[in-house]
Structure 1
Amino acid sequence: MVKKNFDGILLTQFNNIKYISNYYPTSSAICLFKENPVIYTTAMDKELADETSLIEVKELKSISDLKKVFKEESLKKIAIEGNLPISYYKKLEGSKSKNEKWELAIENFLEKERMIKSPNEIEKIRNATNIAHKSFEELVIREKQEKRFTDWEIAYELGYLMRNNGASEESFETIVATDKNSSLPHAPMGNKKLGNIILMDWGAKYNGYCSDTSRTMIEDNDKKQKEIFDIVFEAYKKSIKGTKSGVKTCEIDNIARSVISGYGYKDKFIHSTGHSLGLNIHETPSISTQDGTVLEENMVITIEPGIYLEGEFGVRIEDTVIVGKNGVEVIGKLPHEI
């Protein structure tokens, strides 16, 4: 901020406010992060903010009132988030008189700051992952498959188990894809009975932090499923081996993509190799062709190559890893072949 001559940052994303203050809003809130940061919140949230925030809290009746703060504290250049609601932006810009010189400019200071996880953050992600994995094991998916449970029943029970084991909620809507539906990376559930292949993607949230895991349960005697599973697993293992600080994220993506392309399935790997996570399930950086971010120690990312054969089935294997100087630590010990 100092290098770019900014006087403050205006934050409205709930997880950015949580990251700065420990307070997670339930209604509209704004954090003006400066030398003496302040959270402005509604009367409805004021008590909660007072109880949980580590920084000063004030009530704000109108977003237009912020211009008084800008003027009183001589704030001339203020950073805003790229996804600041346009209604907020218009109110702020519309409230500026001709004599006022302050300006708003989009910057991603917080997103860059959040890329490197503190030991406390890593511990929360580790706990979230352990909860998710323990719950999956308690689900005993193969028994549910034999009894022909539905995708909806599996997702519901897994959500209950994760909460019972200490999660506040799921990190995202659980994916349970079976048979042809598994060729859809983000398959919607349709109350389908479990067939001979199941692709699951799930996560738990613990103290605000997310986990993310995918496993694919194939039919033992299906040669095509085994072939695709082995290719994806090879891409997964080689990507894990090549991940360490100093390597660009696009290089990790290229490792996975090269393995899959080498077997003739280049066009069947239709998403990035992974992403960062933390308070959000998807954070910066992305492990993709277009992202040249250099990995640093204590970044936390997923590795999740996949192959999707339209109208047939799909396979994805995913774990969350902590980037280290000479490699990674895979969080959890959930088997890949189930």
Structure 2
Amino acid sequence: MNEKKLKSILEKIHDKNYDCMILTQFNNIRYISNYAPTSFAICLLKDDPIILTSSMDKELAEKTSEIPVEEFKSFNELKKLFEKDNFKKIAIESSISISLFRKIEGNWDLNIEDFLEKERMIKSKDEITKLEKAAGISHKSFKELNPMKKREDGFTEWELAYELGYLLRKNGAEKESFETIIATGTNSSLPHARTQNKKLQTPILMDWGCKAEGYCSDTTRTFVYSEKQEEIFDIVFEAHNKAIKSVKAGIKSCEIDKIARSIISEYGYEKNFIHSTGHSLGLDIHEIPSISKKDETILEKNMVITIEPGIYLEGNFGVRIEDTIIVGKNKAEIIGNLPYSI
């Protein structure tokens, strides 16, 4: 599979007359080689690709990488390699740091390209299996957590997040795919609220995920109690369902966002939906495309995205519902079957 990925990316590199592409982003290196760096590493994508890694990581790289590995010596040695291979035009990632950019500058043309990010948009069967595994662990752990019972027992947000982290690992996760959000009471009106050391209040908004074999899961559930909270929940749920029903190969990302946003607007809460409708995910928790107003990416079969509309009433409460879905030719498939209320 990595050989197929490499061939596809090399074709893109050659099509734009690059001699090489430099990768430093850890998950891009992992995607192309199966080696997950833990310290400094550079991958040179060319006809005879190579990974240069630190001495600390060399043994790990040699055991896992499907691309030949050598120890990184210095940037002077790297530049000598460029000169030896007569590099004139080199592609780099947009995520490269300014300090690293300056270290590799020389008598060659450096240009930012998103070859890897675009290649990673469409998931292979193996990648989808890993995403499904991560979601399965995440959902199983959530059911075992039983947050409603924890509220009755007087748990704090911190304690709930800590126990969820334990259950995720117990059930096979490597770690959380991002810092778990447990936002209760008025704190739930903050989309990226910080989990606090306070007793669980109502509503309870939980946004969590884990990594399995490097791939991420991402789910949000909100548990409501009052009549007003239920009213907002129903609106968000309608937007969530209609957005998912609209997803299929050939639709633009922005069109899905528009569908979710139009439902919420019909009920007068347009100004309270303050983020995009979703995003892609894979080795990273946020990948392209985004499901947002300005993203005109046309979805293709086997892209994997989240749908997560929300309404946030400042100083009062918020509701968000999120599922991860696989784009199909004619419809979408939700990963997992986690209930929306318990």
Same fold by TM-score, threshold 0.5 exceeded?
A: yes
Matched, 1:78 2:90: yes
Give the secondary structure class of the aligned counterpart of 1:2: helix
Root mean square deviation of aligned Cα: 0.8
Q: Provide the residue aligned with 2:298 in structure 1.
A: 294
Structure 2 letter corresponding to 1:57: V
User: Which of the residues 216, 224, 241 maps onto 1:218?
Assistant: 224
Any unmatched runs of 5+ in structure 2?
A: 1-12
User: Which of the residues 319, 325, 333 maps onto 1:329?
Assistant: 333
Size of the aligned set, in residue pairs, is: 330
CA distance in 1, matches of 2:176, 2:271: 31
TM-score (norm 2): 0.95
1:178/1:192 contact within 8 Å kept: no
CA distance in 2, matches of 1:228, 1:334: 20
TM-score (norm 1): 0.96
Structure 1's consecutive aligned runs of 4 or more residues displaced over 2 angstroms after TM superposition are none
CA distance in 2, matches of 1:64, 1:320: 45
CA distance in 2, matches of 1:64, 1:271: 45
Q: Provide the residue aligned with 1:284 in structure 2.
A: 288
User: Which of the residues 47, 62, 80 maps onto 1:68?
Assistant: 80
Q: CA deviation at 1:196?
A: 2.2
User: Which of the residues 112, 116, 134 maps onto 2:118?
Assistant: 112
Post-superposition CA distance 1:67-120 (Å, at most 9, x none):
111111222211000111111111111xx3xxx4x2110000000000000000
Q: Provide the residue aligned with 2:240 in structure 1.
A: 236
Matched, 1:304 2:308: yes
1:63/1:88 contact within 8 Å kept: no
Matched, 1:148 2:160: no
CA distance in 1, matches of 2:94, 2:211: 25
CA distance in 2, matches of 1:141, 1:207: 27
User: Which of the residues 150, 173, 177 maps onto 2:179?
Assistant: 173
CA distance in 2, matches of 1:305, 1:274: 8
Post-superposition CA distance 1:111-153 (Å, at most 9, x none):
0000000000000000000000000000011110111200000
Equivalent runs, 1:195-274 vs 2, <5 Å: 195-219=201-225, 222-274=226-278
User: Which of the residues 127, 132, 147 maps onto 2:133?
Assistant: 127
CA distance in 2, matches of 1:138, 1:63: 50
User: Which of the residues 138, 145, 148 maps onto 1:139?
Assistant: 145
Any unmatched runs of 5+ in structure 1?
A: none
Matched, 1:11 2:15: no
Matched, 1:183 2:189: yes
CA distance in 2, matches of 1:330, 1:191: 33
CA distance in 1, matches of 2:38, 2:75: 17
